[in-house]
Amino acid sequence: MSRDPIVRALQKFTSCDVADALLKLNHPHGGFLANLTMWSPTRQDGPTKIIGPAYTVKYVRKNHGTAPKHQGHY
């Protein structure tokens, strides 16, 4: 676990949490962050892998009347 307090504070959030927050802040392109690359231990090099939970999400129009409404986050 990181000793950096900022990293520790952010570790509890998922990629969906970050995307939702960026949308609420009106970030351009709906939270899409282009050109992200791995920098640890070196840029795009070595056997290091980035892994995390995967989610299947069905996107529907916001004004879609019959789309299910979830209470809270999934």
Per-residue pLDDT of the chain (74 residues; tens, 9 = 90+): 678 898 888 888 887 788 888 888 988 777 777 787 777 667 777 776 677 777 777 777 778 778 777 777 65
Q: What is the pTM of this model?
A: 0.42
Q: Is residue 64 part of a domain?
A: no
**In b/e form, how buried is each residue of 35-62, taking b as 16+ CB within 10 angstroms?**
eeeeeeeeeeeeeeeeeeeeeeeeeeee
Q: Is residue 45 part of a domain?
A: yes
Q: Give how many domains the chain has, as a whole number.
A: 1
Residue 4: how many other CB atoms lie within 10 Å: 9
* pLDDT confidence of residue 1: 63
What tokens does 10 get?
Answer: 């952010």
Helix (H) / strand (E) element for 23: namely helix 15-24
Q: Is residue 71 part of a domain?
A: no
What residue numbers bound the domain in which 5 lies? 1-53
Residue linked to tokens 């009347």: 65
